[in-house]
């Protein structure tokens, strides 16, 4: 297994990134590439550094060492809005939609974060992707938790991103909603070369998505392979003991 295998045409390149918080090494030499159109999952126990890794890509946290580049451009030092305008769209762990605005209005607001030269999809196309045409004119605050999560993914799609970063998109979802989210991620990634990186704890999601999986443990990448390959590793079994791994 070749951890963090390099691809010369990488869209996202994370090179030996480390980050300390006081005495804690949250990221320790993290090194991997994501190709255009690629889908991959990042798994690992609570506190292993998954969200911090996203933060170093999107400009919320600066890497202490190493570098992150997107489409050949170094991201270190850019503010989150500048990274977003390069085509990196991110969904945070907690759903954050505008509750008083309708679904359609939420998608409209999201377009303001898009890159200036992006060819943005029509609202109807996004509504169809997230299967929410029936609630387009309902206030987002009335949606179920699962549908709020999908609306947020729709808000990323409305920006025509080149890379989507999803942090635990199925948290709090029912089993059926989780499987529908697998289909949603499959449907929208790869299209026009859009890559998608999903941090997930739910092994049903990771197994069903059947994509490349990176395993993090205490700030380090310890495995990179298919779900079938990584699920056999003692580190994964240990990390997900009690979970369905
Ligand atoms: N801004 C910060 N200041 C101090 N410590 C931080 C900060 N951000 C993260 N940490 C610490 O870094 C470690 C990694 O946190 P991170 O949120 O990246 O983990 P995670 O893998 O996303 O966990 P979870 O699965 O619970 O979401 C944790 O010990 C966390 O407390
Ligand atoms: Mg996290």
DSSP track, 23-88: TEEEEEEEEEEEETT-EEEEE--TTSSHHHHHHHHHTSS--SEEEEEETTEE-TT--HHHHHTTTE
> Considering only CA atoms, which residue is closest to atom 17 of ligand 1?
51
Buried b / exposed e across 178-188, counting CB within 10 Å, b at 16+?
A: bebbbebbeeb
Tokens linked to 73: 């451009």
Q: Tell me: the pLDDT tens digits for 168-188?
A: 999 989 999 999 999 999 998
> Considering only CA atoms, which residue is closest to atom 2 of ligand 1?
21
> What pLDDT is attached to residue 193?
84
Average pLDDT over residues 143-152: 93
> Considering only CA atoms, which residue is closest to atom 1 of ligand 1?
21
Q: Give the ligand 1 atom nearest the CA of 27.
A: 14
Q: Give the ligand 1 atom nearest the CA of 201.
A: 25
Please enumerate in sequence order all residues whose Cβ is within 8 A of that of 230, keeping only pairs 6 or more positions apart, or say none: 43, 213, 215, 223, 224, 236
pLDDT at 244 over 50: no
Testing ligand 1's pocket by substitution, the residue of 25, 49, 64 carrying the most ligand atoms inside 8 A of its CB is 49
pLDDT at 212 over 60: yes
Q: Tell me: the pLDDT tens digits for 47-73?
A: 999 999 999 999 999 999 999 999 999
Domains of the chain by residue range: 10-95+165-239
Q: Tell me: the pLDDT tens digits for 82-91?
A: 999 999 999 8
Tell me the CA distances in angstroms from 184 to 14, 17, 127, 197, one per residue in order: 26, 30, 12, 13
Q: Could you tell me the pTM of the whole model?
A: 0.93
Q: Are 157 and 121 in contact (CB under 8 A)?
A: yes
> What pLDDT is attached to residue 5?
54
Q: Tell me: the pLDDT tens digits for 195-210?
A: 999 999 899 999 999 9
Testing ligand 1's pocket by substitution, the residue of 51, 60, 221, 222 carrying the most ligand atoms inside 8 A of its CB is 51
> What pLDDT is attached to residue 191?
82
Question: CB within 6 Å of ligand 1 — which residues?
Answer: 21, 24, 26, 44, 46-52
pLDDT at 222 over 70: yes
Q: What is the CATH number of domain 10-95+165-239?
A: 3.40.50.300
- Per 3-state DSSP, the chain is made up of helix, strand and coil in percentages (nearest 5) of 35, 25, 40
Question: 3-state class of 178 per DSSP?
Answer: helix
DSSP per-residue codes, 196-229: EEEE---HHHHHHHT-EEEEEETTEEEEEEEHHH
> What pLDDT is attached to residue 2?
55
Testing ligand 1's pocket by substitution, the residue of 18, 24, 26 carrying the most ligand atoms inside 8 A of its CB is 26
> Considering only CA atoms, which residue is closest to atom 11 of ligand 1?
26
Q: How far is the CA of 138 from the centre of ligand 2 (A)?
A: 30
> What pLDDT is attached to residue 8?
58
Q: How far is the CA of 151 from the centre of ligand 1 (A)?
A: 26
């Amino acid at each position: 297994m070749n951890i963090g295998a390099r691809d010369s045409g990488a869209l996202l390149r994370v090179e030996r990134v480390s980050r300390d918080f006081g005495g804690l090494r949250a990221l320790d030499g993290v090194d991997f590439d994501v190709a255009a159109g690629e889908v991959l999952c990042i798994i690992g126990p609570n506190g292993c550094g998954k969200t911090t890794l996203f933060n170093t890509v999107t400009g919320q946290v600066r890497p202490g060492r190493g570098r992150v580049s997107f489409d050949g451009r170094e991201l270190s030092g850019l503010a989150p809005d500048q990274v977003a305008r390069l085509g990196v769209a991110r969904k945070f762990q907690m759903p954050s939609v505008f509750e008083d605005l309708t679904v359609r209005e939420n998608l409209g607001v999201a377009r303001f974060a898009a890159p200036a030269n992006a060819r943005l999809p029509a609202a109807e196309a996004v509504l169809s992707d997230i299967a929410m045409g029936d609630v387009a004119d309902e206030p987002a605050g009335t949606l179920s938790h699962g549908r709020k999560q999908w609306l947020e993914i729709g808000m990323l799609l409305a920006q025509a991103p080149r890379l989507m970063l999803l942090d635990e998109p199925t948290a709090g979802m029912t089993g059926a909603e989780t499987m529908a989210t697998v289909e949603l991620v499959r449907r929208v990634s790869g299209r026009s070369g859009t890559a998608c990186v999903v941090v997930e704890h739910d092994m049903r999601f990771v197994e069903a998505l059947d994509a490349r999986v990176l395993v993090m443990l205490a700030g380090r990448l310890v495995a990179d392979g298919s779900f079938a390959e990584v699920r056999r590793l003692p580190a994964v079994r240990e990390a997900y003991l009690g979970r369905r791994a």
